[in-house]
Amino acid sequence: MSTDKQSEKGVVFRSTGSWYDVQDESGSTIQCRIKGKFRLQGIRSTNPIAVGDSVEFIRGEDGTGSIDSIGKRRNCIVRKSVNLSKESHIVASNLDRAFLIVTIASPRTSSGFIDRFLVTAEAYGIPTTIVFNKFDLLSDDDDSLSRQMELESIYSKIGYDIMRVSAKDGRGIQDFKLALKNGISLLSGHSGVGKSTIINELIPGLDLKTANVSESHSKGRHTTTFAEMFSVPGGGFIIDTPGIKGFGLVTLEKETLNHQFPEFFEILHSCKFNNCVHTGEPGCAVRKAVELGDVSEERYLNYLEMYSGFEEGPYR
């Protein structure tokens, strides 16, 4: 009689490089390693398995498991790897939505970073909600309040969902929790935007580490080292990611970068040339829309910066 053990199914909740925390179908967590064959399959990333992956594993006598297969990904989001011998690092997979947490004060998130994230999410088919945190810090005395209103107008006009929260006083947290109720959601943003504080509000008792923003540089310190998935009380799952400095568009062609800007793609048919990339071609409908104020000049300038620096590596 065969003594071979049957494979079990699970989902990767945490990756620490060599070990993976996998939740099995009963809700229990088992630590797993991967079989060496994954490293020979030509997967051009630093991590062949990512948080959110559906896997099959065999439970060993010592209580750990060995992952022997990975399910097909519905989608994934990646960044450029710091390991120059590899193309990418998979941040998370099988996402239903991404929530990009940004702040206008302490620190200020640039629209360039927002657009790079949105382009990446568009490329991988992941709907994104922009979450403005630290609303309590905005003031009429400086330009922070008007700047947030300006950005909200730009992105809501394109069709992106907008949320306002204040992790400090709890405003908007319950609405945020409702938005997370179904599926797997990625939470991302620059270090210092309050992501860990928000997650602590969403999941009481979790007590993720938080760090103050550096006063001298107005930037946050990294408090998350590895991506990790958590169950949200009331339903849904969130994947917390390290503070991400840049995303690399490793699967995009430079000539189709403009397709990931929905407001550009919508009027591409009106350009004189169907392969117009909106950088100086005659009869360009996008540049005309920018002149008329129908397309955000700020978004367009961010696009030009991305287009011109496409081969330079990770976006910052």
Domain ranges of the chain: 8-72, 91-240, 254-312
223-273 pLDDT tens trace:
445 788 999 998 999 998 875 555 555 567 788 899 999 999 999 999 999
* Relative orientation angle of helices 111-123 and 144-158, to the nearest 10 degrees: 20
164-175 pLDDT tens trace:
999 888 889 999
pLDDT-wise least confident of 35-44, 86-95, 259-268, 304-313: 35-44
For residues 166 and 200, the answer to whether their CB atoms sit within 8 Å is no
Q: Is the pLDDT of residue 193 over 50?
A: yes
Note the pLDDT of residue 90.
83
91-240: same fold as 8-72? no
How would you label 156-189 residue by residue, b for 16+ Cβ within 10 Å and e otherwise?
Answer: eebebeebbbbbeeeebeeebbebbeeebbbbbb
Q: In whole angstroms, what is the distance from residue 302 CA to residue 279 CA?
A: 12
Which tokens belong to 24? 């099995």
Note the pLDDT of residue 77.
82
The strand pairing partners of 163, in sequence order, are: 131
Note the pLDDT of residue 111.
94
Note the pLDDT of residue 39.
54
For residues 192 and 106, the answer to whether their CB atoms sit within 8 Å is yes
Q: What's the average model confidence in pLDDT over 81-87?
A: 57
Superfamily of structural domain 91-240? P-loop containing nucleotide triphosphate hydrolases (3.40.50.300)
Closest of 33, 14, 53 to residue 227, by C-alpha: 14
Select the CATH number that applies to the domain covering 254-312 from these four: 3.40.50.2000, 1.10.8.60, 3.40.50.620, 1.10.40.50.
1.10.40.50
- Determine what percent of the chain is predicted with pLDDT higher than 90: 53
288-308 pLDDT tens trace:
999 999 999 999 999 999 998
Closest of 178, 188, 182, 161 to residue 99, by C-alpha: 188
276 CB-near residues (< 8 Å, 6+ apart): 268, 283, 284, 285, 286
CA distances from 10 to 27, 29, 173 (A): 9, 9, 30
Q: In whole angstroms, what is the distance from residue 42 CA to residue 39 CA?
A: 7
What fold is seen in the domain 8-72?
A: OB fold (Dihydrolipoamide Acetyltransferase, E2P) (2.40.50)
pTM: 0.85
pLDDT-wise least confident of 13-27, 54-68, 83-97, 102-116: 83-97
Q: How many CB atoms lie within 10 A of CB 273?
A: 11
